[in-house]
Amino acid sequence: MDVDLTDPVARAAAAREGLALEGEFNDIVRAHGGDLEGREAGDGYLATTKALYHGRPLSWALTPKVFSEAGVALIADAAETMGRIMDKVTRAFAEDAAVRRAFLLSPEVEGLCLLPTGYACPIPLARVDIFLNEETGDFWFCELNTDGSAGMTSAVEVTRAIQRTASYGEFAERHPNIRTFDILGACAEAILATYGEWEGRGTGALPQGHPSIGVVDYGESISMDEVEDFVGRFASMGVRCRFSEIRDLRVEDAPEGPRLVDGEGPIDLVWRRAVLSEMVEKPCPGAEALVRAQREGLACVVGGFRTWPCATKTVFAVLREPALRSRLTEAERAFVEAHVPYTEVLTRATDLSRFADKDSWIVKPRGGYNAVGVVAGLDVAPKSWEEVLLRAAEAGDVIQAYAPQFRVPTALGGVQPAGAELADMAPYAMMEGLFLFRGRFGGVFTRCGREATIGEWTERLNMGCLVVGEPTDGEAASRERVREVEEAERIVEDEG
């Protein structure tokens, strides 16, 4: 759909279409008295899927995140523009020592990030997280994630859970042109396409097609349910895939040359889910084998270590460094200024008084992942904020301007405690994770929460996602008749 994304009025209209549709969905939930049966059906469905948290259905919202086609164009443009900037950052890191110095990486990590990948696409897989204002169409980036980007199974299965409710059934009757994202399929295709352009395929024992895939991570860190989902998806494509505990990797000599193997045999293609900073924290012979495999071309490593600079918490600070800015177009520099919160690396010499207005700032560990250690000033007392700043300066962590979060009334999914008001909808802050597969937008993973930091420990909810297409003339007329009937019923009820 053609949308003039340079026009603030058009952007606002695109965002508001989704907000209005979410409000309509909530009205339907209220009309169903909170849709208890739908919540129970959703929980029952999730229990049969891989969308679990500690063996139970994960926390989810009955209200989906809804976009119109114009709204999808808005977020897709945001994601793909950032994707192009991330590509430039990755190339600049490899080519320019001044850019590398700005990241403040250890010599060991910097060296790993310089290893060639053997394929052209710098970042095959990513998820960029934004806060979208659904009234104005403005947005601010929260963080960038590369190869360990999670949430694909959750996004797909929560959407399917919502589709089993009576509320969704009525919503779909009003909006027949609903579509959803095939996130797992798009991800799997991107992984295989990356192998398809890898220069090492077809050499030695490495096949041209149908590689044996190892999803590599630390067992205690990986979402095993999501891996199993991908194992099944790849199997449907005729490709063998398995989880490979990083500690089990080794390089083994074979007649055709050294091979990367795990306990089940050779691996042709690694999908690296292990975060590089975790590999540094947890050194092991298997991690060394993975590094050797990339260095010597023993396997195609999707998520080569070159993706790490864009996943660091320092990348937003580097985007404003002269050495990097000079590589961006004027439009890209304007994009960064408009949508990337100001970020600074703290040191012992930093004047911390500049950050005394705690509600305007958030602190993030420089080498962190999974939102561990993130502290929003809004969540702490003034005295505690001083201590947070001092610890961050000592550790060399980053401070970032707190991006405003947009809150939307949201119905909880799942079975609620006895006596809970099912039709009650508190405002939840939204964070949209926008997936990029080889630079193309591929779907949304939305999380919402009540506190200033949205994480598992703050009782966040996972949300489904729907895209409502443009109605035909007949559908538009039918929707208008429904609206007129509902308005007439409301007037009668008020007068009664």
CATH of the domain at 337: 3.30.1490
Q: Do 440 and 305 lie in a common domain?
A: yes
Q: How many CA atoms lie within 13 A of 462 on its CB side?
A: 26
Q: Do 34 and 106 lie in a common domain?
A: yes
Whole-number pLDDT of residue 150: 80
Within a domain: residue 138? yes
Whole-number pLDDT of residue 368: 55
Distance in angstroms (rounded) separating the CA atoms of residues 123 and 136: 30
Number of residues in the chain: 496
Whole-number pLDDT of residue 369: 53
What one-letter code names the amino acid at 289?
A: A
Sole residue written with tokens 């890898």: 198
Domain boundary among 375, 401, 427: 401
Task: Tokens for 136, please give them.
Answer: 């104005």
Q: Do 268 and 415 lie in a common domain?
A: yes
Task: Tokens for 19, please give them.
Answer: 């907000």
Measure the CA angle with vertex 103, ends 102 and 109; round to 5°: 135
Give strand pairing partners of 144.
128
Whole-number pLDDT of residue 70: 96
Question: What HEC string does the chain produce?
Answer: CCCCCCCHHHHHHHHHHHHHHHHHHHHHHHHCCCCHHHHHHHHHHHCCCCCEECCEECCEECCCEEEEHHHHHHHHHHHHHHHHHHHHHHHHHHHCHHHHHHCCCCHHHHHHHCCCCCCCCCCCEEEEEEEECCCCCCEEEEEEECCCCCCHHHHHHHHHHHCCCHHHHHHHHHCCCEECCCHHHHHHHHHHHHHHHCCCCCCCCCCCCCCCEEEEECCCCCCHHHHHHHHHHHHHCCCCEEEEEHHHCEEECCCCCCEEEECCEECCEEEECCCHHHHHHCCCHHHHHHHHHHHHCCCEEECCHHHHHHHCCCHHHHCCCHHHHCCCCHHHHHHHHHHCCCEEECCCCCCHHHHCCHHHEEEECCCCCCCCCCEEHHHCCHHHHHHHHHHHHHHCCEEEECCCCCEEEECECCCCCCCCCCCCCEEEEEEEEEEEECCEEEEEEEEEECCCCCCHHHCCEEECEEEECCCCHHHHHHHHHHHHHHHHHHHHHHHC
Q: Do 397 and 408 lie in a common domain?
A: no
Domain boundary among 353, 374, 401: 401
What is the count of structural domains for the chain?
A: 2
Give backbone dihedrals phi and psi of 55, rounded to 5 degrees, phi first.
85, -5
Within a domain: residue 88? yes
Distance in angstroms (rounded) separating the CA atoms of residues 373 and 170: 42
Q: Do 431 and 411 lie in a common domain?
A: yes
Whole-number pLDDT of residue 441: 97
**Which residues of the chain, if any, have pLDDT below 50?**
457, 475, 477-479, 482, 485, 488-492, 496
CB distance 22 to 66 below 8 Å: yes
Domain boundary among 401, 416, 444: 401
- Going by their DSSP bridges, the two strands 269-272 and 361-364 should be labelled as unpaired
CB distance 348 to 389 below 8 Å: no
Q: Do 311 and 325 lie in a common domain?
A: no
Distance in angstroms (rounded) separating the CA atoms of residues 22 and 208: 46
Distance in angstroms (rounded) separating the CA atoms of residues 325 and 327: 5
Within a domain: residue 188? yes
Within a domain: residue 482? no
Within a domain: residue 171? yes
Within a domain: residue 2? no
- Going by their DSSP bridges, the two strands 241-245 and 213-217 should be labelled as parallel
Q: Do 422 and 384 lie in a common domain?
A: no
Range of the domain at 449: 8-315+404-475
CB distance 11 to 137 below 8 Å: yes
Contacts 24+ apart (CB under 8 A), 380-389: 382/358, 385/358, 386/352, 388/363, 389/346, 389/352, 389/355, 389/363
Sole residue written with tokens 């509600």: 359
Q: Do 252 and 336 lie in a common domain?
A: no
Within a domain: residue 495? no
Q: Do 127 and 233 lie in a common domain?
A: yes
Q: Do 293 and 220 lie in a common domain?
A: yes
Q: Do 146 and 276 lie in a common domain?
A: yes
Q: Do 385 and 352 lie in a common domain?
A: yes
Whole-number pLDDT of residue 35: 93
Question: For the segment 223-282, what is each residue's pLDDT rounded down to a tens digit?
Answer: 888 899 999 999 999 999 999 999 999 999 988 889 999 999 999 999 999 989 889 999
Within a domain: residue 491? no
113, 269, 266, 115: which is closest to 200 by C-alpha?
Answer: 269
Whole-number pLDDT of residue 222: 86
Whole-number pLDDT of residue 51: 75
Distance in angstroms (rounded) separating the CA atoms of residues 312 and 89: 12
Other C-beta atoms within 10 Å of 371: how many? 18
Q: Cα 80 to chain center, whole Å? A: 13
